[in-house]
Amino acid sequence: MELIITEKNNAARRIAEILSDGSNRTERVAGVDVYAWGTHRVIGLAGHVVGVDFPEEYSDWRDVEPAELVHAPIETRVTKPDIVSALKRLSGKADRVVIATDYDREGELIGKEAHELVREVDDSVPVDRVRFSSITENEVKTQFQNPDDLDFELAAAGEARQRIDLLWGAALTRFLSLTSGQRGTDFISVGRVQSPTLKLIVDKEREIQAFDPETYWELFADLAGDQTTFEAQYFYDDTGSEAERIRDEAHATQAEQDLSTAESVTVESVNRRRRTDDPPAPFATTQFIKAAGSLGFNAGRAMSLAEDLYTAGYITYPRTDNTVYPDDLEPAELLSKFEGTPFDEAATSLLEKGALEPSRGESETTDHPPIHPTPDVPARGDLSEDEWQVYELVARRFFATLADPAVWEHLRVVAAARDRRLKANGKRLVEPGYHDVYPYVDTSENYVPDLTEGTSLGIDSVSLDEKETKPPRRYGQSRLIETMEKLGIGTKSTRHNVIEKLYDRGYLESDPPRPTQLAMAVVEAAEEYADLVVSEEMTRELEAEMTAIVEGEKELEEVTADSRDALDRIFDSLSDSREAIGDHLRSSLKADKTLGPCPECGEDLLVRQNNRGSYFVGCDGYPDCEFTAPLPNRGDPQLLDAVCEEHDLHHVKILDGRSTFVHGCPLCQVADAEEAADEIIGPCPECHAEHGGELAIKHLRNGSRLVGCTRYPDCEYALPLPRRGDIEITEGRCDEHDMPELRIVDDGDEPWEFGCPICNYREYVANQNGDLTSIDGIGEKTEEKLQAAGIEDVGDLLEIDPETVAQNINGVSAQRLSEWQQNVG
């Protein structure tokens, strides 16, 4: 038997379909899907099925000092026992094993882990390695005909990262968490890559906070020719350079007066030039994330969609530094695959050019090509809306790299009156070039008439604008990743995950990312007591050492030892400052949860969590003051800058995926609920006949609203109502339930004819068992994939675990499954 091992289940299914020409069947081995045909079996892992950790005796935070972890032994443990069991069972029957995990540092390590598991069963079975950059029929079959060996040095670099991240993360996380009294799920996370990244964001926030705006003025005039009017800006000589911003108010007002009283200006010079606008370079990972960001996708979402498209065989591997197409890429052949598709016009126009010379970037590597579409072009209905946007971006970037340069014509006109000079800069697109096929770059034009020197122009109006300098912009996610790349922080495969972790750990909020008080405190503590923790140089050096392993210049144990030595130096700095660090972190943790003053005692009101994990508002003066207020029973609360004028409390935002909403001031919600009288709307279907119960619109103290029985708690009948919008009781009436029809009116949105609450809820329940295609993003082909995985309707979808099911569905990620669940629920 030939056993093929892939990195994930959906890749296993796709490769099995390709190699078996669609004749494969699914078998279950140890509860794991295995794809079979003839004497072949394909099993998909779930990424790493083993992981590194310290021995069990180091797991008790109370008994083991964090510094002891620095030199603790590291062992490998099975993390996915079902998959490991299936893999070993299959290995015992195999006479050949082929490892087909992703071709990068992490994929090679996953392949090495699989190799070692196979060797535990059979130490003599031949093990080959195949590598590919796209999961297409041609490439998969070609690479399986040309197997190679595992690259143990590349895998060792991945293992070094695992070890180093464990050492840094575990030791420093434990130290800061124990020092600040944060245990359980509220631990303070520190990491070799995440901490320097966090410092970048904190440093930017410090720049913003320290920024002192300066006032300046800009002066504009509308100039009129024979048949046209255009805007020109005043400028002056500032020690040899042109300046438009006027720093001196007297200068600004005098210049305004001079131009306002002038009858005309005379054109002094007219300069024309043409500029070539070269096509963009092929996509590497960072440039792809930046471009996807302009479409509204954050870094994590962009990469998730790209990985789905790669696994489905539609684009090449999305983790690459390469910006030069390989010599064996045939652009015309690939373009021809787009004829007769929604991209027909763009592809045809490029094919008509004849010779195609792709653009080139500065980075050329040999592992993977730049990100580009494969010959397998999907139909529009095969992809969700988000997937299609990303696919189109990748396809059109490929088109752009084959297109001609664009040509711009620039025109600069300078005119003067009373020694005051005005300039107007015009531009127009003369030859669109690559812009015809890549509509993601601004091509707006600025009209300035073609004038001659000496022409007299009238002055229609003059305006003097007072402005202030703006603080530096926060890093957007794509710009942050660019900066990380420039500084050598992280890798192309990890940078977007690092940002997601910083959000998950409570260090970042909003988008663009803004550091929380805890983030500021962690960075401040590290800078003061152990600056290596947030040192980009240290992280860059460790990354360089891992690269040295790949190149055969260093050994795994040597790099691990270097990292332990660096941690020794850090703990030497930290050990004498434990109490000061703890005080600093505890103060900042409290600041992140402080809403404002308690109305009963004046102490701080804090966001707290009860033993069941629910959030509420509680007084810091407890137990002397027992004041509390409820918060919504779902989602995670985040404090906003906005403050309630009446209660002096920060407004609260509830983070709950796509159901995220602004809760506002918790005390206002309580007051509104207590002031709102129940509105009787009809008989309770559960108890009216026997006990006379009525249904009423009720406002709860946590901001929720519902239709519930007036006999509660004796009768618990209740129906949900939308949280947002005003509820109007209309004159329409439901004949079946003798209930008025409701309308939800929300500012800026069309009124929602909610109808009878009972009928509405019945329809909602029915939708839970409705067709999957009723959900945005699920087309017929995706529905077929879901049904093949046992998800027959919406009700089934709501019951699944996205992480588990995603392993069994080709081209559908756990994140997408989770989003579909949220859209329904």
Task: Tell me the catalytic residues.
Answer: 317
Strand partners, 466: 217
Cβ distance 499 to 186 under 8 Å?
A: no
For residues 143 and 131, what is the distance between their CA atoms, to the nearest angstrom? Answer: 7
Q: Which residues make Cβ contacts (< 8 Å) with residue 373, sequence separation at least 6?
A: 314, 315, 316, 334, 338, 391, 394, 395, 398
Decide if 425 contacts 412 (C-beta within 8 A).
yes
**Max CA separation in the chain (angstroms):** 97
Under a CB-based contact definition with an 8 Å cutoff, are residues 499 and 513 in contact?
A: yes
User: Tokens 């669940």 label which residue?
Assistant: 821
Task: Say which residues have a Cβ less than 8 Å from residue 655's Cβ, sequence separation at least 6.
Answer: 635, 636, 637, 638
Cα-trace Rg, the chain: 32
| Distance, CA of 571 to chain centre | 34
- Per the listing, tokens 């500012």 go with 747
Name every residue whose Cβ is closer than 8 Å to that of residue 227 and which is 6 or more positions away in sequence: none
520, 205 contact by CB (below 8 A): yes
451 phi/psi in degrees, rounded to 5? -105, 170
| Burial of 393 from C-beta contacts in 10 A (0-12 / 13-18 / 19+) | buried
The identity of residue 210, as a single letter, is A
Q: How far is CA 5 from the centre of its chain?
A: 30
Q: What count of other Cβ atoms lies within 10 Å of the Cβ of residue 383?
A: 24
Contact 640, 652 (CB under 8 A): yes
Q: Write a three-state SS string for 752-809.
A: EEEECHHHHHHHHHHHHCCCHHHCCCCCHHHHHHHHHCCCCCHHHHHHCCHHHHHCCC
Q: How far apart are CA 619 and CA 666, in angstroms?
A: 13
Burial call 445-463: b when 16+ CB within 10 Å, e when fewer: eeebbebeeebebebeebe
* Residue 460: both structure tokens together: 């229609």
Q: With contact defined as beta carbons under 8 Å apart, do 508 and 201 qualify?
A: yes
Residues contacting residue 768 through CB under 8 Å, at least 6 positions apart: 794, 795, 798, 824
Helix (H) or strand (E) holding 478: helix 477-487
CA atoms in the 13 A half-sphere facing the CB of 736: 8
237 sits in which H/E element: strand 229-238
CB count within 10 Å of CB 468 equals: 9
Residue 83 structure tokens: 């998959």
Residue 501, H or E segment: helix 495-504
Q: Residue 12 in 3-state DSSP?
A: helix
User: What is the end-to-end Cα distance of the chain in Å, rounded?
Assistant: 46
Q: How far is CA 121 from the centre of its chain?
A: 41
Distance CA 112, CA 99 (A): 9
